[in-house]
A and B are shown apart, each in its own frame.
Chain A
Amino acid sequence: MDWSAISERFANVRAGGTDLQKRLRSLRRRLTLLLAVVGPGLITSNVDNDAGGISTYTQAGAHYGYALLWSLIPMTIALYVTEEMCARMGVITGKGLSDLIREEFGFRPTFFVMVTGFLVDLANVVAEFAGVAAGMEIFHVSKYIAVPVAAIIVWVLVLKGTYRQVEVIFFAACGFYVTYIISAVLAKPDWLLAARATVIPDIHFNSAYLLMLTGLIGTTIAPWQFFYLQAGYVEKKVGPRDYPKARADVLVGSISCMVIVFFIIVCTAATLYVTGQRDITEAKDAARALIPLAGRWAGYLFAFGLLNASLFAASILPLSTAHVICEGLGFEAGIDHKFKDAKIFYWLYTILIVVGAGVVLLPNAPLWKILIFSQVGNGVWLPVVVIFILLLVNRRDLMGDYVNTVTFNVIAWITAIFMIGLTLFLSYASIFPSPPASP
């Protein structure tokens, strides 16, 4: 037999697909490529709207109506600018933020950033489980059932799921924020007034107003999110060629986060503020108060949104924290390791959940104090992290041509200094509270 003649014949008869098939395939391929990049930006920004965040937005709407809506646009810019730097660092260096801090600043600074991070995040986790308890209360479920069940769900979800499954669940959680849009529509707000308030600033110079404004910004830009965001792109192995997609992911995330904040404030402004129930301090009270004003569904959806946000953040925070700490200190980390190879990682993760959920179940838990501690902690930790980020992102030996441009640096430093000032103010005001002034 003549083998070479046979191979020759093979070469001639191999067939490809038709044109239409090819086009469908290329579409599917492009979609897969896009999904391989997006995620971290969208998820991180949405987790910002966690239990603490929703409480703050509720208060903002209830106390000041539409008056604070103008702050959303500058906040979107600040959120985008800070997150984008981390996304860029992750994509260009291929290293997490804690890795870079360790390599460039040494062991001790890393250790203190990690210890502070652990304590602040623990307080945040407590706040998330408190959010779960509050959300379920609207549905008449005791916190002694809701919180342990939530803790187990979170623990199992992350340890037993693969990265991709977990991400799909997180995407779904992002989708559930739509409930706030529906709640807002059901509340029949004055859209024209809301739109005007969004573009025309209405600034008052009294301390209660400024405190509210600071709280709004403080809960939206939390320091731990930078670590999570950067690690997300590193984990997804996004390279420089896909950087524009990562940037778009961050942009869409920042905007969608703020859209949700907009609807929460509009919803509570249209109901609680208008009817004079302005002393509402918690999201669950808002949900309860919504029922007679905008109907049962508006209230339930509001409570469901709170539950979703709290669970979502409670899943991400402990995981991200354990990851960041282990990575920075050089211990094995990640859910793809077995327990015996990454003991410290799994113990940290478990402690965060057990303590976080446990504190909420204590009969006389000082939840209010823990909430304040978490906000003050975020405030103290944030400037440190942002300064580390700015120092790293301007290093040409790390970032090459991707260092910040002058314009970007100016915006970033202004954002950083402004955030530092505001969070210091918030911390000060939380520690030495002044009697609330009437709006």
Chain B
Amino acid sequence: MELYATELMGSKAYDTQGHFVGRVREFFIEPADQPNRVSHYLLARGHFPPLVARYDQVASVSVGDIRLNVSERALALFEPNESWLAVQKDLLDQQIIDTSGRKVVRVNDVDLVEQRTNGNTELRLTQVDVGLPGAIRRLLQGVVSPGLIRRLQANLPQSTIRWEFVNLVEPDPLRRVKLRITHEKLEDLHPADLAAIMEDLSAAERQGIIASLDEETAGAVLAELDERLTTQIVEKLDPGKAADILEEMAPDAAADVLADLPKQTFDDVLEEMPGQEAREVRELLEYDPSTAGGMMNPDFAFVGERTTREEVLQWMRGQDLNLDQLDTVVLLDSAAQFAGTVTVSRLLLAEPDQSVSELKMEPLLNLEPDADDDEVFELFDKYNLRTLTVIDEHKHPIGVITVDDVVSRLVKRR
């Protein structure tokens, strides 16, 4: 039968002689040992020091009545243990991440199921209740009989999350290690979903998550997060770690993150970044965010206009290119001036020995870095662009604006 933590809280425990030992005030789980087993029961009796019963000292569990298979003397005195997860203190009323539903929810109750093994009964945590039935139970527990509560909740819509999909948020790094809280499941989420989840958490919790993600995922999440939050997060990171994360990001996204940092932190972080990347970021920060220069990404693919399709593909395979933004290749003439663009789809369909200049888009479109964002929007709209090249006064291409830059700028202005 399904049991609920709220319902069992306060149940009386009796030892083998039938003596009353105490009331259950807390359930502990030892994630390092078994992630879903109730490993210890806290038994309190008046002002005596509380005792703990281990999972193998419990013979049977039912609402209001817990039978032990040892005598009271075999029980240990309770001592707080950081590596135990407390159901009432750490779970009930706290926020958790539902990795299957990709959102932050608040725990109303915890569902348990009993499992009998030779001579003792173990409680296994099956799911957390985040809906109305749990709320009703919390409200009415001890006021009306458990039977009536069960009847009341029978017709209510269920809203539960299986324990496997629950990701705890624990800001304290030491405790996180002891509780074996990993964020592997979070790393599998889309960075945009993870960013949305993090926006629902508090600052300390966000910091805890960023700290335990790998640098690539952390970078991808920072690129999706609200700029006010990224500044707060990076500010609190160790500059070396911050630099490692920022290196994983596209320079324009990294520049957005760095833009609002206090001067000192800004310098500390840039100091830790490799010269080339630090320089790119510094240059991008010279541009106003509302201009073409502020929207562009200085990392883009460019080839000479006289190369053939085959040569271009060969070259591209050897490069570490950002595939998500690779829609277009910029063409250069012999003076390294802008000579047009070729879309990747045209390259795909062209003959191997065809020259790329035959494939280029007409008309030749580009903008100066200080063109304002309205001009950028107009060009994208008029010519149905996916990318647009930004050139300097000597006609050298210096960056590329992709359609996702346009969308995020438009959303920001809304």
Residues of A within 8 A of B (CB): 1, 6, 9-11, 13-17, 25, 33, 36, 93-95, 102-103, 106-108, 111, 162, 164, 236-241, 329-330
Contacts and interface: CB of A to CB of B under 8 A. Distances in A.
Contacts of A25: 288
Contacts of A111: 135, 138-139
A340 to B, nearest CB: 13
20 contacts: A1-B334, A9-B336, A10-B336, A10-B398, A11-B279, A14-B286, A15-B286, A16-B287, A93-B203, A95-B202, A103-B93, A103-B94, A107-B108, A237-B228, A238-B228, A239-B203, A239-B235, A329-B135, A330-B105, A330-B108
Interface residues of B, number: 44
B262 interface: yes
Interface of B: 92-94, 105-108, 130, 135, 138-139, 199, 201-204, 206, 226, 228-229, 231-232, 235, 260, 262, 279, 283, 286-288, 302, 304, 332, 334, 336, 369-370, 392-394, 396-398, 414
Contacts of A17: 286-288, 370
Nearest to A103: B93
Contacts of A11: 279, 283
Contacts of B138: 107-108, 111
A239 B204 CA distance: 11
Contact of B396 (A10, A106, A108): A10
B336 A14 contact: no
A237 B286 contact: no
B286 A16 contact: yes
Contacts of A14: 283, 286, 392, 398
A111 B132 CA distance: 13
A195 to B, nearest CB: 42
Given A14-B398, A111-B139, A239-B228, A6 B105 contact: no
A15 B92 CA distance: 56
A43 to B, nearest CB: 19
A9 B396 contact: yes
A33 B231 CA distance: 12
Contact of B235 (A6, A162, A236, A241): A241
A6 B106 CA distance: 55
Contacts of B283: 11, 14
Contacts of B202: 93-95
Contacts of A6: 302, 332, 336
Contacts of B226: 237
Contact of A241 (B229, B262, B394): B262
Contact of A108 (B130, B139, B334, B370): B139
Nearest to B397: A10
Contacts of B262: 241
A95 B228 CA distance: 16
Nearest to B235: A241
A102 B288 CA distance: 43
Contacts of B287: 16-17
Contacts of A36: 228
A95 B94 CA distance: 12
Contacts of B398: 10, 13-14
B228 A330 contact: no
Nearest to A1: B304
A332 B241 CA distance: 34
Given A9-B396, A10-B398, A107 B139 contact: yes
A15 B336 contact: no
B265 to A, nearest CB: 10
A222 B20 CA distance: 50
Given A14-B283, A33-B260, A330-B130, A106 B93 contact: yes
Contacts of A162: 414
B286 A13 contact: no
Given A95-B202, A330-B130, A107 B93 contact: yes
Nearest to B413: A164
Nearest to B414: A162
B93 A13 contact: no
Nearest to A106: B93
Contacts of A102: 93, 106
Contacts of A164: 414
A236 B262 CA distance: 19
A17 to B, nearest CB: 7
